[in-house]
Structure 1
Amino acid sequence: MSYAIIGFGKIGQALAKAFARSGIEVSVATTRDPASFASHAAEIGPTIIPTTLAEAVNAEVIFLAVRFESHPEVAKALPDWKGKTLIDAMNTQAPLEELDGLPSSAAVAKAFAGARLVKGFNHLVAAVLEQDPAVHGGRRVVFLASDDDRAAAEVGALAEKLGFAPVKLGGLSEGGWLVHARGKSWGQLIFKDLIKFD
């Protein structure tokens, strides 16, 4: 399985640190030249591979960690996203009217036609997400919501490999709301830092 993170801001870097801790190779890309952030990627670890956006979208599993306003531009990188599993790790404060009354993840799914979309890894602030998920003998929870059960299971397995405890919330129209930023108010699970004990 090949992985990529599109976006190398705070959330993108936090995700890269999770991959580095687990020794899993991941491509990282922005709209900038990879040379501009190569040294920072190298500081995180040798499994973090700076690349172009055009190359990153060849991965099978792609984290979307750009500013929400930038996602339509990223969506143009491929004419069809069929066969790709896309993890929407973005948050937005766009008013619901701008999203046609949909959770933000449903709006993202429309932009990335054909992708198997999972909302996840977005409810923790970057400073928490980048920490070792092994806490007090348990594992830090990441919430996942998707209308595609197979994609949710695949992302859940990746979350486990990265050391997290995945908790599935159901489809985008149910679970998506729980981790959605609604204008100036937040879904009930946003910023909830929970630990699961096996």
Structure 2
Amino acid sequence: MVVGRRSDPTSTQDRRSIMSYSIIGFGHIGQALAKAFARNGIEVSVATTRDPESFASDAAAIGPTIIPKTLAEAVKADIIFLAVRFESHPEVAKALPTWQGKTIVDVTNAYGVPPEELEGQPSSRFIAQAFSGAKLVKGFNHLGAAVLDQDPAVHGGRRVVFLSSDDDAAAAQIGTLAENLGFSPIKLGALSEGGLLVQARGKSWGHLIFKDLVKFD
């Protein structure tokens, strides 16, 4: 998990208004996300269920703005990227009694999970139930780790990330963050509508999964 703040605030008021960020999960996807933060000088905390010392060297190799934390510390962030395996999300959800005031960016993929286990819902809505009180945005999950790892500035354009949410304000907030990370956000609408295009259902993928698109201004 990674939690962070934009570096070098210019005033006390700026410091108070700056969002804090964390990444929970520090595998290939989590590290790729951390590199996006590092490229832009934005501090982010990273965490797993393990002791932070076990991945501190990997965090240091990415850059000084990547801060290893315990899970309990990382969930204090305002915006939390959930980059764990889908089946691990209930364990993360137990870290807080309520997620009120938090925005969760669901980067998981539920490929292979039978639809009946999800009660017929999109996987992100199922996850939202576990993170009671949080605003949830599906995003950053449609790109493979090897692509997400790269600088999103491509051939004079910006790599696209798809976002979907049942909360328009949360989607806009993460859209702004995506732009700050160098990506071009495209909003797909609600989780049960456009969001299905970037979610797995059973052993089938949504139509936009793994689509590496670039937007030119």
TM-score, normalisation: structure 1? 0.99
1:146 matched to 2:144? The reply is no
Q: Which has the larger radius of gyration?
A: 2
Instruction: After superposition, give the CA deviation of every residue in 1:2-34 in whole Å (9 maximum; x if it has no partner).
Output: 000000011100000000001100000000000
What corresponds to 1:193 in structure 2? 212
What corresponds to 2:181 in structure 1? 162
Separation in 1, partners of 2:131, 2:144:
25
CA RMSD of aligned residues (A): 0.5
Separation in 1, partners of 2:210, 2:114:
19
Give the C-alpha shift of residue 181 in structure 1.
1.0
Unmatched 5+ residue regions in structure 1? none
Give the C-alpha shift of residue 182 in structure 1.
1.3
Q: Between Structure 1 and Structure 2, how many residues are aligned?
A: 198
Give the C-alpha shift of residue 167 in structure 1.
0.2
Q: Provide runs of 4+ in structure 1 moved above 3 Å.
A: none
Say which of 54, 78, 83 aligns to 2:72: 54
Say which of 18, 41, 54 aligns to 2:36: 18
Say which of 70, 73, 91 aligns to 1:73: 91
Query: Which amino acid letter does the alignment assign opposite residue 181 of structure 1?
Result: A
Give the C-alpha shift of residue 98 in structure 1.
1.0
Query: Which amino acid letter does the alignment assign opposite residue 121 of structure 2?
Result: L
Separation in 2, partners of 1:92, 1:171:
18
Say which of 23, 44, 63 aligns to 2:62: 44
Query: Which amino acid letter does the alignment assign opposite residue 201 of structure 2?
Result: R
SS of 1:156's equivalent? Answer: helix
Instruction: After superposition, give the CA deviation of every residue in 1:87-142 in whole Å (9 maximum; x if it has no partner).
Output: 00000121211111111100011110000000000000000001000001000000
Separation in 1, partners of 2:20, 2:202:
34
Separation in 1, partners of 2:44, 2:147:
20
Give the C-alpha shift of residue 45 in structure 1.
0.5
Separation in 1, partners of 2:132, 2:194:
21
Instruction: After superposition, give the CA deviation of every residue in 1:50-70 in whole Å (9 maximum; x if it has no partner).
Output: 000000000000000001000
Unmatched 5+ residue regions in structure 2? 1-18
TM-score, normalisation: structure 2? 0.91
1:99 matched to 2:118? The reply is yes
What corresponds to 1:90 in structure 2? 108
State the identity as a percent.
78
SS of 2:176's equivalent? Answer: helix
Query: Which amino acid letter does the alignment assign opposite residue 111 of structure 1?
Result: A
